[in-house]
Amino acid sequence: MKRIGILTSGGDCAGLNAIIRAVVCRAAGGYGWKVMGIRQATQGLMSDPPQIMALEPDKVDHLLTMGGTILGTTNKGDPFAFPMPDGTVRDRSEDIIAGYRQLGLDAIIGIGGDGSLAILRRIAQQGDLNLVAIPKTIDNDIGITENSIGFDTAVNIATEALDRLHFTAASHSRVMILEVMGRDAGHIAISAGIAGGADVVLIPEIAYTLENVCQQIQERQSQGKNYCLIVVSEAVCTPDGETVTNTNALGQCRLGGIGQHLADQISACIGAETRVTVLGHTQRGGIPSPLDRLTASAFGVAAVELIAEGLYDRMVTWQNRQVVSVPIAEAISYYRAVDPNGTLVKTARGLGICLGD
């Protein structure tokens, strides 16, 4: 009987629990293996004893629709330079390898974005651990897979927000700005912008000018359309090339604030009444969409089959309507931004959506 571990790493998103459920159903329910959930990403393995949660098939049904991750996760603390309570920094990679051995694992399934998966792979290589990876990120920037877990739910949430903003924007004759996540990629913005009928979509991949945005608003006004919906991705730079960020009381710096910056610019330029909605982490929470549940289920089952076949150092991906696996090293080296000449950009332009350029 194999013993496998599963962990979620990096920022959470909708669909992580659905993956855990699928893995447990197939590995424990199907093959009769023991599945151990590792708590708090690699931090659960570096603890002595390792922090785990037993996962059994009759206890995971409810996970299909549950947001977040029951295992907990973190995107803080690179194990190779781990911040210790005494203020020093230590390489904890060997502690993680020791945790894997202490649990007697035959393999581990790591669910993460490109950054977390790169770290997990480095540890697996160092300790000769059997790793299988599953891609998740609302940013959808892992280029090798058409779908990463969490993206579809985030697009659904942003689209629904636009649907709601339409009515209040029209009622008050306002310019409504919706700031969405996505880090350096504009996938959420352009997808939700098209699906939600936005008039302007600003993404990091295409530089905007204030004049072009204001012109779109005024053109709509001249057509009797007294309101305007703008979607802006959090990493969009100002026309001066600045990335807008904010820092909390702990000194943590985060993307965010371009929406308000843009609103102020537009009001100053054409006197339009503006309001800003920052969706923030609502895009990562909540019930996963049917597509994310489906992808999560397919990825979870496929990851277990890789282990059954003894195929390691591979990531499951969605390509051409099916799940295939690729070497993790190849998968994480292929970053995907929005293609300025691709279908989504062409569609947006074809619909008359202003992209700011």
Q: Which region among 32-40, 56-64, 99-107, 131-139 touches ligand F6P (by CB under 6 A)?
A: 131-139
- The least CB distance from residue 246 to ligand F6P, in Å, is 11
Class of residue 222 by CB neighbours under 10 A (exposed 0-12, middle 13-18, buried 19+): exposed
Distance between terminal CA atoms of the chain? 59
Task: Give the residue ranges of DSSP H helices in the chain.
Answer: 16-23, 43-46, 93-102, 114-127, 151-172, 187-195, 210-222, 258-270, 290-309, 328-332, 343-350
Q: Which region among 54-62, 133-141, 198-206, 217-225 touches ligand F6P (by CB under 6 A)?
A: 133-141
Q: Which residue is nearest to ligand F6P (CB)?
A: 181
Residue of the chain from 255, 263, 296, 306 that contacts ligand F6P (CB under 6 A):
255
Of 28 and 185, nearer to ligand F6P (C-beta) is 185
At residue 181's C-alpha, the angle toward residues 178 and 185, to 5°, is: 115
> In the sheet that 274-278 helps form, which strands lie side by side, from edge to edge?
200-202, 228-233, 175-180, 274-278
C-alpha to C-alpha distance for 270 and 238, rounded to whole angstroms: 17
Residue of the chain from 137, 145, 147, 289 that contacts ligand F6P (CB under 6 A):
137
Q: Which region among 22-30, 104-112, 175-183, 200-208 touches ligand F6P (by CB under 6 A)?
A: 175-183
Q: Which region among 161-169, 176-184, 203-211, 305-313 touches ligand F6P (by CB under 6 A)?
A: 176-184
**Site of tokens 């690729």:** 326
209 to 248: interface string for ligand F6P, x by CB under 6 A: -------------------------x--------------
C-alpha to C-alpha distance for 323 and 289, rounded to whole angstroms: 19
Q: Which region among 136-144, 198-206, 266-274, 330-338 touches ligand F6P (by CB under 6 A)?
A: 136-144
> Is residue 182 a contact point for ligand F6P (CB under 6 A)?
yes
Burial 4-30 (b: 16+ CB within 10 A, else e): bbbbbbbbbbbbbbbbbbbbbbbbbee
> Is residue 139 a contact point for ligand F6P (CB under 6 A)?
yes
HSE-up (13 A, CA, CB side) for residue 186: 25
User: How many chain residues are in contact with ligand F6P, going by CB under 6 A?
Assistant: 13
- The least CB distance from residue 30 to ligand F6P, in Å, is 32
- The least CB distance from residue 36 to ligand F6P, in Å, is 26
Per the structure block, which two tokens stand in for 183? 């880090």
**CA distances for 251 relative to 53, 159, 245, 246, 257, angstroms:** 33, 32, 12, 9, 16
- The least CB distance from residue 255 to ligand F6P, in Å, is 5
> Is residue 124 a contact point for ligand F6P (CB under 6 A)?
no
Q: Is 199 a catalytic site residue? A: no
Annotated active-site residue in 139, 152, 199, 292: 139
**CA distances for 86 relative to 19, 50, 93, 179, angstroms:** 36, 21, 18, 38
> Is residue 64 a contact point for ligand F6P (CB under 6 A)?
no
C-alpha to C-alpha distance for 248 and 241, rounded to whole angstroms: 23
Of 234 and 292, nearer to ligand F6P (C-beta) is 234
Residue of the chain from 65, 75, 212, 243 that contacts ligand F6P (CB under 6 A):
75
289 to 328: interface string for ligand F6P, x by CB under 6 A: ----------------------------------------
Of 141 and 199, nearer to ligand F6P (C-beta) is 141
Assess contact for 19 and 112: CB atoms under 8 A. Answer: no
Which active-site residues does the annotation give?
Answer: 139
* Interacting residues with ligand F6P (CB under 6 A): 11, 75, 113, 137-139, 181-183, 234, 254-255, 284
